[in-house]
Amino acid sequence: MRLKPILELDDRLSYRLRLVPLESPWRPWAAFLAHSGDSWFWGAGLGLVWLFGSPDWHTRSAFLIIGIFVLAVVVQVIKFSVRRRRPEGEWGAIYRNHDPHSFPSGHAARAAMLMVLGLGLGPPWFGLVLLIWAPLVSAARVVMGVHYLSDVLAGFLLGVMMGFVFLAAFPLLQAVAPFLF
């Protein structure tokens, strides 16, 4: 199977999904959603939960931080193996300058993993919020032009799989948590 026609289709579909007019009233919302999946944002928020949360959330937030870190390593290994350039565009200079590779989307992977973990470990309202938020973050990465559609689909799938792996490992962390934290 030749990959070139698939990549060309991916490029055309991704371009059609972009918010090309810079004056679009949706652009600030899409930019906010695209940034809301940043690892530093989640790391800082979970760090605060770890510091000030209940003992139960102390373990959960540490687990989520570990999950974010491990997933970031996996995503970077894949990105530097595949080396797919990001789509051309004007938005997202920080991503384009510090991480020029687009496949898979780390934001989509992180959002999907957090969604699975939120549904499995958190209160129902938290899981529901993440169930709505994760696909929006993924879509915003395409809409803002920093990823191709296939990048976010692959990232989302990777995040869901890693989320289930981490859910399976959570009982082990709970068992050793008193000795670690």
Task: Note if 101 is an active site residue.
Answer: no
Residue 98 falls in the annotated catalytic set: no
Query: Which H or E run contains 176?
Result: helix 149-180
* CA–CA dist 90, 107 (Å, integer): 19
Selected catalytic residue, list 58, 98, 101, 147: 147
Residue 144: closest CA among 173, 98, 108, 181: 108
Candidate list 58, 98, 101, 107, residue with the active-site label: 107
CA–CA dist 45, 171 (Å, integer): 23
> Could you please report the per-residue DSSP string of 124-171?
HHHHHHHHHHHHHHHHHHHHTTSS-HHHHHHHHHHHHHHHHHHHHHHH
The sign of the dihedral angle between the CA atoms of 176, 118, 116, 145 is: negative
Name the residues annotated as catalytic: 107, 147
